A and B are shown apart, each in its own frame.
Chain A
């Protein structure tokens, strides 16, 4: 059974934000108005953390892309009262939008603040409505959503591999962020496959995980010389 994981090379990442845009389009994430964004209702499945080190004028800015970490031991699924969030055997943590009651307990329990909530009915500009991704179901107001590692893409890849009677190749299943990254800083693949790029990079001395001490076992691994 594969175990899907992501490696983000912060030494390569330019902080351009292309992953955020690609993710938003791929997954039909609602466009939130600037006023609502000010109030903290912005919706990103792939978010970008900006960490400022030092005092002006010697400020160092770190830009860190932050998707859902797809923990092996996810704090969010432990608290959900209705089985609306789950982890599947391949390690993908999913959300069932049509079952979610919107209690937001998973958001409160997630140490990575990875989930977002539909505070209003999701909205898109008129031009957007004609180019929504048909593979990703639309959400409704009042439910929680988050990065799915583009699980809909895995379906397509699986069907192709099954039709040709072969295993899924390394790099065949790529989420939108990793595919679009102009700096090739986001790798994606099977952590159980010892030949995969992701497995090799996860063994790199530069590799670290966020908040490792909590025992959540995140499957997003960062690479950085700085930390």
Chain B
């Protein structure tokens, strides 16, 4: 029986292969990543033992890499669930091979980002004080609330559409049957089950959008609720959300290109997918520039002295290199690459996506540090140099992300198989019907 099962070659065999075939590359990658993570964990334990003095933070720059990375990672997490929900909601048929990858990014990166404020604490042993003595008036508590909500919603939103695929893995037998049996919740693909699943996905995707928007808005509130120059700005909420989606799409493109290459998914992720998604990236780049321009123009035009201290610190001061490279990476390069069809190849898109991810990280740096480094009181401006601890925790966080992704792809198909099948079987007819319904009916012949 089992032999027969393995013999039947599925049309989507390419999607199952990475789960059942493990090469040396896999062990090597996992090994290297684990070493990096272990080193980062060691550096963190050292930080807890000695105190935050091992970082480069000081007075007045009391926040450093940890908060920058917190904002950055949570921003990346907007790739997934939000984009997948928008694509599902707008019935974009080309979403089918993309949604799962996007949602996995969210789940992993959100967990990493959510840990960063705890890494940043001087007394991580007292973190539970936020439950026993929490003040809901503090923007930090708003954050805890909305990130928890987003994490819950997005993991459920990742898991539900996985159930039919897990059932497929269970039916294949072989590896970890009991594990898949447990996770598939007795999925048999009956009409009733399909109906319930579809309804659940529909409810979730509508719910997830406002939650995702709230998350980055609230993160921007951490800064904008204070009176500090450069932070105290009404535009911050939408500015952060736009930046988050922007960096999220770029991260998604990088992940897609990487998996396409490693897992040989050229048949599933075609140039057209990248071109559609990179058009979205181009739009976000323009939007990002619009927000950045408005933000700085209002500051410069009003020329309030403390505000100007911060702006000059970024424009011509010690942060000029970071500020102007941010503009180049986030605006000039992506717009040039993505506006011309000639550059809009996989390589071009990969290049633009990498610059956007770096540029958006620089943006977070440009928001957090200069405002802190230029206090309103006449104390002179501060400077911040991250220490080895902060760098290794940064690299460690990225390693956790890659490891999480690699392990996920070892146990679950990275592209939603049943949705691809559904696309093949039903959506062509459905789309034909839908398009016909948009068009004017047959002209009434009245003679």
Contact = CB atoms under 8 A, between A and B. Distances in A.
Contact of A108 (B63, B138, B377, B382): B63
Interface string B85-124: 0000000000000000000000000000000010011111
A36 interface: yes
Contact of B122 (A64, A81, A102, A113): A102
Interface size on B, as a range, is 35 or more
B228 A103 contact: no
Contacts of A103: 117, 120-122, 140
B375 A113 contact: yes
Interface stretch (B53-61, B350-358, B397-405, B435-443): B53-61
Contacts of A101: 121-124, 126-127, 129-130
A10 interface: no
A112 B377 contact: yes
A214 B377 CA distance: 13
A81 B59 contact: no
A78 B137 contact: yes
A29 B130 CA distance: 27
A208 interface: no
B11 interface: no
A81 B377 contact: no
B328 interface: no
B134 interface: yes
Contacts of B227: 75, 109, 111, 214, 216
A185 B141 CA distance: 42
Interface-central residue, A79, A100, A103, by most chain B CB under 10 Å: A103
A70 to B, nearest CB: 15
A118 B122 CA distance: 8
A108 B133 contact: no
Interface in A19-48: 36, 39-42
Nearest to B58: A40
A210 to B, nearest CB: 7
Contacts of A120: 50-51, 53
Given A79-B226, A80-B138, A83-B135, A121 B59 contact: no
B262 interface: no
B63 A104 contact: yes
Given A101-B126, A108-B228, A80 B135 contact: yes
Nearest to A107: B62
Contacts of B378: 49, 51, 64
26 contacts: A40-B60, A79-B225, A81-B130, A81-B134, A81-B144, A84-B133, A99-B129, A101-B121, A101-B123, A102-B121, A103-B121, A103-B140, A104-B62, A104-B63, A107-B60, A107-B62, A108-B63, A109-B227, A113-B376, A116-B59, A118-B122, A119-B52, A119-B57, A140-B123, A142-B123, A211-B377
Interface of B: 50-53, 56-63, 117, 120-124, 126-127, 129-130, 133-135, 137-141, 144, 222, 225-228, 372, 375-379, 382-383
Given A103-B140, A117-B122, 17 more contacts: A79-B138, A80-B135, A81-B140, A81-B141, A82-B130, A82-B135, A84-B129, A99-B126, A103-B122, A109-B225, A112-B376, A112-B377, A113-B379, A117-B52, A119-B57, A140-B123, A143-B123
